[in-house]
Amino acid sequence: MKLKFYGTRGSIPVCDAGFQQFGGNTTCLQITDTNQIAIIDAGTGLRNLGRDLLAIGHKQEQIRIAFTHFHWDHIQGFPFFAPAYDPKQKITLLTLGRDQTISNLREIFEVQMQAEYFPVQLDHMGANFEFLQIADATEHFTGINNVETIVTAQRHNHPGGAYSFRIERNGRVLVVCIDVEHGEQIDPRLVKLARGADLLVHDAQYTAEELQKRRGWGHSSFDQAMQVAEMAGVKRLALTHHDPDHDDEFLERIEKLCQERFPNAVLAREGMEISIGEAT
């Protein structure tokens, strides 16, 4: 498996000078295995992902986009995803995990693209859309491309609800835990989910000081992300969902501090690729 970050920013995209190294697009991750891609979240980074797929002539009968949740910064790139305008393309949008509160997945995207907000409505985009809400993720994904795949989705604390994902494939483990607020103590269920992962991608929007002023906003600190990595015994840690007020200079300083504590930590940068299980 290979992971590529197309969007690493939290809350709102930024394009100011001083924000280019780590990127200004909101959350979007591409997972590639055996020349097949899957996508997690459709923030503004999804636009560039779609353009790249067209540029390299990538062909895939079905493109899956899984959503951690549906706050604006995780869906606002969808109307600009070029493959969604191809009548020959099938795109499956899905939620994973138990205790979902979404009652109509299609409606989320229909409302986002209704005429008051966007010139092209969902039904006029062109692609063949499928909307799935799946409680048992493992059952659904077993055997993709003839490779045993175990996907575990777990609800965690975030306003409106959100889900973390654990993906096990070919003996490699990727865990994505974005938009999570642990509270006073680290969530032990998330530590269990991340246990022994080759790569943990974790929300780290705030410093410890900022977090004290933003309780209830649904995010974690750099320290908490490292604590999860340490408690779970993960091999590598990528911190993401950077605050829109944290510029490149600030994030570079934070990254050095994080690496002093957890040497295999890195702050995610737009365009960064990480091979899951690759030696460091």
Residues of the domain holding 191: 2-275
For range 18-33, the mean pLDDT: 96
Is 184 a member of any domain? yes
Q: Put the strands of the sheet holding 265-267 in their side by side order.
A: 149-156, 162-169, 172-177, 199-203, 237-240, 265-267
Is 280 a member of any domain? no
Is 17 a member of any domain? yes
Q: Is 95 exposed, middle or buried (0-12, 13-18, 19+ CB in 10 A)?
A: buried
Query: Residue 149 sits in a domain of what CATH number?
Result: 3.60.15.10
Question: At residue 229, does pLDDT exceed 80?
Answer: yes
User: Which pLDDT does position 149 carry in this prediction?
Assistant: 83
Cα–Cα dist 256/265, whole Å: 9
Is 172 a member of any domain? yes
User: Which pLDDT does position 137 carry in this prediction?
Assistant: 72
Q: Among positive and negative, which fits the CA dihedral 122, 125, 126, 129?
A: negative
For range 160-178, the mean pLDDT: 94
Percentage of the chain exceeding pLDDT 70? 95
For range 133-149, the mean pLDDT: 69
Question: At residue 144, does pLDDT exceed 70?
Answer: no
- Per-residue pLDDT band for 138 (boundaries 50, 70, 90) equals low
Cα–Cα dist 218/159, whole Å: 6
User: Which pLDDT does position 252 carry in this prediction?
Assistant: 98
User: Which pLDDT does position 274 carry in this prediction?
Assistant: 97
For range 138-142, the mean pLDDT: 59
User: Which pLDDT does position 47 carry in this prediction?
Assistant: 98
For range 110-133, the mean pLDDT: 96
**pLDDT tens for residues 26-58?**
999 999 988 889 999 999 999 999 999 999 999
The whole-model pTM stands at: 0.95
Question: At residue 270, does pLDDT exceed 80?
Answer: yes
DSSP 59: -
Q: Around Cβ 46, how many Cβ atoms within 10 Å?
A: 31
Is 52 a member of any domain? yes
User: Which pLDDT does position 110 carry in this prediction?
Assistant: 96
Domain count, the chain: 1
Is 111 a member of any domain? yes
Is 59 a member of any domain? yes
User: Which pLDDT does position 221 carry in this prediction?
Assistant: 97
Question: At residue 234, does pLDDT exceed 60?
Answer: yes
Question: At residue 154, does pLDDT exceed 70?
Answer: yes
Q: Would you tell me the crossing angle of helices 248-261 and 222-232 to the nearest 10 degrees?
A: 30
Cα–Cα dist 139/186, whole Å: 29
- Per-residue pLDDT band for 139 (boundaries 50, 70, 90) equals low
138-147 b/e with 16+ CB inside 10 Å = b?
eebbeebeee
**pLDDT tens for residues 45-104?**
999 999 999 999 999 999 999 999 999 999 999 999 999 999 999 999 999 998 888 889
Residues near 180 by Cβ (< 8 Å), separated by ≥ 6? 156, 157, 158, 162, 164, 187, 190, 202, 203, 218, 219, 220
Question: At residue 269, does pLDDT exceed 90?
Answer: yes
Is 117 a member of any domain? yes
User: Which pLDDT does position 170 carry in this prediction?
Assistant: 85
